Structure 1
């Protein structure tokens, strides 16, 4: 490969809008460019790849926890597969519970220096979370912000002026200072931000030694033939997840599913589901449900629920199976 691929890490905690931001970037990318996205998810079944399927990019998923675990093998496998396609740009989305400094270390290693031109690391944050001890006391949340060169305050349309003040005050005390910051809504990030150069190596936040307390990673689970659905669970770093894959022949009742997701008291829900009204991506954060229709046909439905408390997965499964007629 004669040209090093411009690469960005887009990080941020659960529910901050990373996938929406990447979808907006893909929508606005130059028409003649071929982009690749490596998506890492805490859950086991892999949902984000399907959400991005309409984005016109090469997508590779690494589910099941932080992709820099197990000596970085899952991440390297994903990166190598995408680099072989010779994309014009590579975007890497670590899990909201991942360690971006470890990803930076891999991308700047001798293995990838001839192939990857790592640009600024971008962290998304909901300004409201900077006043919430649940987030500010979380080591992953703090590492993601510390590792970033650029801070994007997303969901500003849901913030009050006091939230914006906290965001601005937080920025003023960062050492070293962030290269760039911006308040946006709906993940509307300008393309030009991707070409900002990263800070000099070995700056604060790049040499984290956080322990990896979750299991080795497995490949994306596929639904076996003649099986209506599968369920997979994961846990680590104080969070629990449960995911389901349902056969494409089963359709969820759209209204019942929307109502159930609206009532579900979980920190994060992601789903790509075949319904009675078509195929839709559901994104739930803080019990706010957003829905987008996507043009996937014959794709297995995938649902992932993440929470800091162990939830009654079997009860939830019974409801899901009823809604989709299994």
Structure 2
């Protein structure tokens, strides 16, 4: 039996950003424009327990591994290591995109990726932070520790959703960033802040400086033994009317999610109207409608949605900085659902 060569020199790019800035949309754009001669993979961490983002990326033809339930950075221990090692071992990618949670501290995950266990396995080529200009100009974001950490960790800043912002907001956001001490700490920042719409970032913006070392050592290789990564999806699929609820809270934020039967069908127009009226910071998911499977992603008043391929179950995830009333929110969502199928 011929043994495979060790995994080495995988180019790694981190895409940071607070809740709702458009990281998943940006990753979809990157994947759609990836070089055809490169093998890519994506590692996604979500704040909530359900795991929606991997479903939104999963139709791109690229291997996606998700770590739901909190901060990848805090979990830079067993769960993150197992997921990362499994992805490297199974897919052997040329390039790896990592999307930490929008509520995650990036320093710890960078320490893991640049540490001795992955010395020549991974080359961390750059860290890009995607920003919504409307958040940048608000004091509550400017003073938020997670927001500041994501700005400090990046070698380049990109203002997204420019098409949704008045020119004066874009100007104020750029001025605030350039006045920060970090603006002078890296040439890419000094060269100017990129401004885009719909997450249309270029791969070259993610590249900073490669860092190299030695092949995966025995300590890391042991962690790559066959893992069970999808344990959160192991339970039997829900039956019609049986919503499996999962909740999570950390750093002053709350998530609430449901796994829902594929036999429950929503009215697409009523659903989108309902989502805009829920009054939460973020809602995302994939549900079956009379038009087909519909993915949706809502941040404040910004809604994006589209049809996608068949799913093994329907999922909804809500995130807010206040405790979420599961009964009230479920009632609102059910109001947009068609009558349940008879047994």
TM-score (norm 2): 0.84
**Once the two structures are superposed, what CA deviation does each residue of 1:50-79 show, in whole Å capped at 9, x if it has no partner?**
000111111001011001324522111111
Tell me whether 1:123 sits opposite 2:129 in the alignment: yes
Q: Mapping of 1:1-326 within 5 angstroms?
A: 1=6, 3-84=8-89, 85-169=91-175, 170-175=177-182, 176-180=184-188, 181-197=193-209, 219-225=231-237, 227=239, 228-295=242-309, 297-322=310-335, 323=337, 325-326=339-340
Asked if the contact 2:238–2:244 (Cα under 8 Å) also holds between the matched residues in 1, the reply is no
Q: Secondary structure at the match of 1:220?
A: helix
Cα distance in 1 for residues equivalent to 2:210 and 2:22: 22
Q: Does structure 2 conserve the Cα–Cα contact (< 8 Å) formed by 1:9 and 1:120? A: yes
Q: Structure 1 222/116 Cα, relative in aligned 2: closer, same or farther at 3 Å?
A: same
Relative to structure 2, which stretch is displaced further, 167-176 or 95-104? 167-176
Distance in 1, matches of 2:68 and 2:118, equals 22
Structure 2 contact 22–130 (Cα < 8 Å) conserved: yes
User: Where does structure 2 lack aligned partners over 5 or more consecutive residues?
Assistant: 1-5, 212-228
**SS of residue paired to 1:121:** strand
Q: Secondary structure at the match of 2:54?
A: helix
Distance 2:57 2:237 in 1: 25
Alpha-carbon distance in 1 for matches of 2:165, 2:118: 40
TM-score using structure 1 length = 0.89
Displacement of 1:172 in angstroms is: 4.2
Aligned residue-pair number: 308
- C-alpha displacement at 1:107, in angstroms? 0.1
Larger radius of gyration: 2
Write the distance in 1 (CA, Å) between the matches of 2:207 and 2:137.
Answer: 31
Q: C-alpha separation between the residues in 2 aligned to 1:158 and 1:41?
A: 25
CA contact (8 A) 1:64 1:218 kept: no
1:203: which partner in 2?
Answer: none
Alpha-carbon distance between aligned partners in 2 of 1:225 and 1:158, rounded to the nearest angstrom: 39
**Structure 1: any 5+ residue segments left out of the alignment?**
200-216
Native 8 Å contact 1:151 1:178 kept in 2? no
Q: Quote the Cα distance in structure 1 between the aligned partners of 2:259 and 2:117.
A: 35
Secondary structure of 2:77's partner? helix
Cα offset for 1:104?
A: 0.4
Question: 1:40 touches 1:63 (CA, 8 Å); kept in 2?
Answer: yes
Of stretches 88-97 and 129-138 in structure 1, the one that deviates more from structure 2 is 129-138
